[in-house]
Chain A
Amino acid sequence: MRDRLWIIAGLLLFLGFVTYPMWQDLVAGTSSRPPQLVLPTNEKQCVAPVTYMRTSHMKLLLDWRESVVREDNHKYVAFNGKVYDMSLTGTCLRCHDRQQFCVRCHDYAGVRNPYCWDCHLDPAQVKRSAQ
């Protein structure tokens, strides 16, 4: 029982280590809860069901890219028959705010923001910086 001190100290250290993300959140004032994303108000329905968009929006965007650039096909017929212009800046960003929607969720999920924005421009941001 002479090692009691060491054992307790070790356990405390271990507990502190395991719960480190919690403490860090508390100290930094952040939360591990998912961000409350700002949803568009001008449209009720996205180009595909929400569950599909949540898991496969990147695939949809790649398909759009191939279709527009390689096949010169600009129209997308959605699951509900509605026709959309296949455009990241023209269609997606008409409803979604890039910073409040795309970037926040990507940051939360720890997914590196894709290089789409190295070239494609956010019209709202361009407007703001022009003012």
Chain B
Amino acid sequence: MKITRKEFLEISGACLVTLSGKKVLAVLDSPEDEKSTPSSARKDRKQLGMIVDTRKCAKKQGCTKCIEACNRAHNIPLFQESDHQIKWIWEEPFGDIFSSYETQYLEASLKEESTPVLCNHCDNPPCVRVCPTGATWKREEDGIVMMDWHRCIGCRYCMAACPYGARSFNWVDPRSHIERLNPDFPTRTRGVVEKCTFCAELLPKGQVPACVEACPERALVFGDLNDPKSEIRQMLAKDYTLRRRAELGTGPNVYYLV
């Protein structure tokens, strides 16, 4: 069979159009891109989250049991210098963490009220996006923003990316600054970033995070946000809650009952 140049080009063009058309159709047909869907929107998986009931928390003025329990459980060092401090769960004045909700009429006492803050285990965590080594990632099975200290190279990109200041850097070797060592949990070394992991080491044992366990007022409620029957969801359905800087699109999973 003899084929002219013109016919050859026509057939090739037709083939190309058919092939590319098939690909376009496949993309259009496919369900929503899984990766771009936040885990809290995917009902087949867990998304662990927390409610901080600030009303209950305020009942015990000066109580820092949650912070102490976390520090003990995770071998968190104590530093006097604010630059060196390591914080997994800590206190901030209410007015600072919810500055966008503030009005000029907000009572000074409420503005100054200490409120526990921690990593928000975001749906769309900016820290994960910037980590060059994959040392921090969002766990698919339960939505925890996890850390692998073996892989952290201490570049601190994640610290710059986190809008909540939930990450701390070990400027000095922390071991000698730990009051009482817990042999069940490792310490960290100098040059590593760390943050709250929702006590990922306790969850497989059927336990709840150390802060939740330690709170005498039961002001911290922990659970699966994707389970409509969970206590946390029941509470969220009943009461109005706030999230820290949700307008940034990070999808924080720690809610504040005010």
Contacts and interface: CB of A to CB of B under 8 A. Distances in A.
A121 B181 contact: yes
Contacts, number: 37
A72 B204 contact: yes
Contacts of A121: 75, 181-183, 186-187
B148 A69 contact: yes
B174 to A, nearest CB: 10
Nearest to A120: B186
Q: Which of A69, A74, A126, A129 lies at the interface centre, i.e. has the most chain B CB atoms within 10 A of its CB?
A: A69
Interface string B188-220: 110000000000100010000000000000000
Interface in B138-156: 139, 141, 146, 148-150
B180 interface: yes
Interface residues of B, number: 18
Interface centre among B75, B141, B148, B186 (most CB of A within 10 A): B186
Q: Is the interface of B mostly helix, strand, loop or mixed?
A: loop
Nearest to B139: A72
Nearest to B183: A123
B149 A119 contact: yes
B184 interface: yes
Interface in B71-112: 75
B172 to A, nearest CB: 13
Contacts of A70: 148
Contacts of A90: 184
Given A72-B139, A72-B141, A65 B150 contact: yes
Interface of A is mostly: helix
A119 B187 contact: yes
Contact of A118 (B139, B141, B180, B189): B189
A129 B186 CA distance: 16
Given A74-B204, A121-B186, A121-B187, A130 B180 contact: yes
A119 B189 contact: yes
A97 interface: no
Given A121-B183, A121-B186, A72 B200 contact: yes
Q: Which of A65, A70, A121 has the most CB of B within 10 A?
A: A121
Contacts of B141: 72
B153 to A, nearest CB: 14
A72 B137 CA distance: 13
Interface of A: 65, 69-70, 72, 74, 89-90, 115, 118-123, 126-127, 129-130
Interface of B: 75, 139, 141, 146, 148-150, 180-184, 186-189, 200, 204
Given A65-B150, A72-B141, A119-B188, 15 more contacts: A69-B148, A70-B148, A72-B200, A89-B184, A119-B149, A119-B187, A120-B186, A121-B75, A123-B183, A123-B184, A126-B181, A126-B183, A127-B183, A129-B181, A130-B180
